[in-house]
A and B are shown apart, each in its own frame.
Chain A
Amino acid sequence: MTTDDKLKQVVSAVLRVPADQIDDGTSPDTIEAWTSLAHLDLILAIEDEFGVTIPDEEVGDLTSFRLLKLTLDEQAAAA
């Protein structure tokens, strides 16, 4: 499974939206359930699923699917 698919699965599970409705533009503006509290669970779930620690300064800023994916790609490149 690609990072993209896996990430979609996580976002889908935490925010309870079908995975096929998630794309790069998905953000708190497009998904009502993506509240600040849900964002906490989302970051935890991503860290848990991918075995990474998202840099502290980025945690609050990763507010779109595209940004989440970019961060994961950066982490993978750095590893």
Chain B
Amino acid sequence: MNVSLRTGSESPALTVVRDPNASLSALMAAVDRLEAHGVDEAGPMRVAVSANITTELFSTFMRRHALLAGRTARVEHGSYDDHLENVRRFAEQRVDHLVLVNFFDNLMPSFEARLHALDPDLLAAQRERVRGELRLALAAARDVPAVYVALFHRLTPTAPTEQSAALDAVVESFNDALREACAEHRNVTVLAMDEVAAAVGHADSFNPRYYHRFKAPYTARFWDELARRLVLVSRAGGSRYPKALVLDCDNTLWGGVIGEDLIGGIKLSPDAYPGNVYWQAQAEFLNLQRSGVLLCLATKNEPADVEAVLADHPHQLIRDRHVVVKRANWGDKVDSLVGIAHELNIGLDSLVFVDDSEFECASVRERLPMVTTFTVPKNPYDYPALAREVCDLFLAGRPAGGNGSEKTEQYRIRAQAVELEESHATREEYLASLGLAVELRRNPHDAVTRIAQLTQKSNQFNLTTHRYTEAEIADLIDSPTATVYTLGVSDRFGDSGLTGVAIVRYGGVQAQVDTFLMSCRVLGRGVELSPWATIVADARARGAYTLTAEWRRTARNDQVERFFDDLGLECVSGGDDARRYTAGLKGLAFPVPTHIEVNSQ
């Protein structure tokens, strides 16, 4: 959204919103002003809070951190201590994010102080009540895209006494009950409130006056930190999926300048400052690579110098094999970033860029505001904290499962293929040389997670951009009136894995293409044409007479605006924002490109 948030010319309101020490009233006024002037293209994140305490102060900070992430948030608070009714209402209102907070000490009046004297049966009953209520609430929140459940923590600080340890154990047993209930739902994430309090400091997290007087235990600083984490975990409300980390080299990957200090002079020793700082940052970035993030280099250096460090420096952790694309040249960093996005066939907003030069960072922020840019701090000892933040940006809220760790290999395969394409005389020759094979599967139960992930993440080659949860995909797979197709693509360079999804719904004599999307890493080779012969044959076998399809405009899917036209379907109604197609199935034929072998099962 809101170009003013990302460019160099900061408004006074933005300066206040960025300032961690801004006064509460100044922050409130600035948040109001920025929201009034910004446009959140995705619409505001709709956040709802249900709690057994007073939480109104949270709104300002949630809105603050949404703005800092380029979004806006609208926050609603449910009735005090009425989770079931609140959740029912919020689910009906189709909120995007639901935060459930139970404050331990307020489960019963002065619960903590009374715990030691409570009958164990009463305690167990209370725990079951909490578990049962949460179960019902989570069941009612089944269709809310993201639900966050706050874990319990103590109001009083832990002390080295037996009584204190016993209290910790009780709190933990209540948390076990929460975790069990949460584990039954894929849309639920637990929030470790004690970690938030630890980060802020115990004394700064709680306001005893407000707690005992108004049931508002948490301070502004606590809510601020919780909101920051929530926006991070939700990836700015699900609008951003960073995929690639682009690193500068000098004073970013290592200390010093390779062209001047030479390989023996750069700082990268794990045992000495400041080399240990760069070494640690490399270790963090390498962890990202292992979890599926694509590492790239963009550096103003002689390529041979960079290659030499990657190959020969004894302490270098990130080696050539970990890096998907390297741009070592004396050109513009902006061009390098654009080139990297092109080569990987991902959007620029999927790039995160880290560089030590204020100048380079400012230039990228100005000209490529969609790239998330981090500047390496001036003091090397501050670098590990920044590296951690970069990692959190990628890892927070990343869905488990899928085949993330294989991604580097897949993108590397693609980058190699781009290189090969340039060496072939004609495109046809090149395509024929690839040995492309597509495995087309119908209703694969074992791929529910990956399919849902693709519907959530794919933006560019996505005809309708319907976002589905895992539960919804599972339902579609089991439905007698729909077929979910997956495309697995391999070629002589390797296996790209499950990279395409088509969903067809049937009603009467009509087969309707609900979803068709492809991961960008396999585009440009005609793979997108491969499933249609099978889809048409299946529709005919089910007795359908017509095939209908649709393209719906989003901010990112221009490239497929004419896909169905190109496929030969007749556009029956077209506008700027949507195009609808229909075709009689009788006699409809979609030839499979000759360079692709399709195996369907």
CA distance A37 to B209 in the complex (A): 15
Residues of chain A contacted by B32 (CB below 8 angstroms): 13, 16
Quick check: is A56 within 8 A (CB to CB) of the other chain? yes
Total number of residue pairs linking A and B with CB closer than 8 Å: 49
A14-B25 contact in complex given A40-B210, A56-B213, A59-B213, C-beta closer than 8 Å: yes
Asked whether A41 lies within 8 Å of B213 as measured between CB atoms, the reply is no
Asked whether B29 lies within 8 Å of A41 as measured between CB atoms, the reply is no
Secondary structure class of chain A's binding surface, majority of residues:
helix
Residues of chain A contacted by B210 (CB below 8 angstroms): 40, 44
Asked whether B57 lies within 8 Å of A44 as measured between CB atoms, the reply is yes
Q: Closest approach, in angstroms, between the C-beta of B227 and any C-beta of chain A?
A: 15
Residues of chain B contacted by A37 (CB below 8 angstroms): 54, 56
Q: What are the interface flags for A12-33 relative to B under an 8 Å C-beta threshold, 1 for contact and 0 otherwise?
A: 1110100000000000000000
A10-B25 contact in complex given A16-B32, A48-B220, C-beta closer than 8 Å: yes
A48-B25 contact in complex given A40-B56, A40-B214, A41-B57, C-beta closer than 8 Å: yes
Q: Tell me the A37-79 residues at the B interface (CB within 8 Å).
A: 37-38, 40-41, 44-46, 48-49, 56, 59-60
Residues of chain A contacted by B209 (CB below 8 angstroms): 56, 59
Residues of chain A contacted by B28 (CB below 8 angstroms): 13-14, 41, 45
Asked whether B56 lies within 8 Å of A41 as measured between CB atoms, the reply is yes
A13-B56 contact in complex given A40-B214, A56-B209, C-beta closer than 8 Å: no
Quick check: is B498 within 8 A (CB to CB) of the other chain? no
Asked whether B24 lies within 8 Å of A48 as measured between CB atoms, the reply is yes
Residues of chain A contacted by B220 (CB below 8 angstroms): 44, 48
CA distance A37 to B58 in the complex (A): 12
Residues of chain B contacted by A44 (CB below 8 angstroms): 24, 57, 210, 220
Interface size class of B (residues with CB under 8 A): 10 to 19
CA distance A41 to B213 in the complex (A): 14
Asked whether B24 lies within 8 Å of A40 as measured between CB atoms, the reply is no
CA distance A39 to B28 in the complex (A): 14
CA distance A48 to B23 in the complex (A): 6
Residues of chain A contacted by B56 (CB below 8 angstroms): 37-38, 40-41
Quick check: is B537 within 8 A (CB to CB) of the other chain? no
Q: Closest approach, in angstroms, between the C-beta of B59 and any C-beta of chain A?
A: 9
> How many residues of A are in contact with the other chain, CB < 8 A?
18
CA distance A56 to B60 in the complex (A): 24
- Pick the contact of B24: A16, A45, A59 (CB < 8 A): A45
CA distance A16 to B214 in the complex (A): 22
Residues of chain B contacted by A60 (CB below 8 angstroms): 213
Residues of chain A contacted by B29 (CB below 8 angstroms): 9, 12-13
Asked whether B57 lies within 8 Å of A13 as measured between CB atoms, the reply is no
Quick check: is B216 within 8 A (CB to CB) of the other chain? yes
Asked whether B26 lies within 8 Å of A40 as measured between CB atoms, the reply is no
The residue among A37, A38, A49, A56 with the most chain B CB atoms within 10 A of its own CB is: A37
Residues of chain B contacted by A9 (CB below 8 angstroms): 25, 29
Asked whether B213 lies within 8 Å of A45 as measured between CB atoms, the reply is no
The chain B residue with its CB closest to the CB of A6 is B25
CA distance A41 to B77 in the complex (A): 15
A40-B54 contact in complex given A48-B220, A59-B213, C-beta closer than 8 Å: yes
Q: Closest approach, in angstroms, between the C-beta of A72 and any C-beta of chain B?
A: 14
CA distance A40 to B209 in the complex (A): 11
CA distance A64 to B24 in the complex (A): 20
CA distance A44 to B57 in the complex (A): 10
Residues of chain B contacted by A12 (CB below 8 angstroms): 29
CA distance A27 to B29 in the complex (A): 20
Q: Which 6 A-B pairs have the closest CB atoms?
A: A13-B29, A13-B25, A10-B25, A45-B25, A45-B24, A13-B28
Q: Could you give 15 example pairs across A and B, Cβ below 8 Å?
A: A13-B25, A13-B32, A14-B24, A40-B57, A41-B28, A41-B60, A44-B24, A45-B25, A48-B23, A48-B24, A48-B220, A49-B23, A49-B26, A59-B209, A60-B213
Residues of A participating in the B interface, judged by any CB pair closer than 8 Å: 9-10, 12-14, 16, 37-38, 40-41, 44-46, 48-49, 56, 59-60
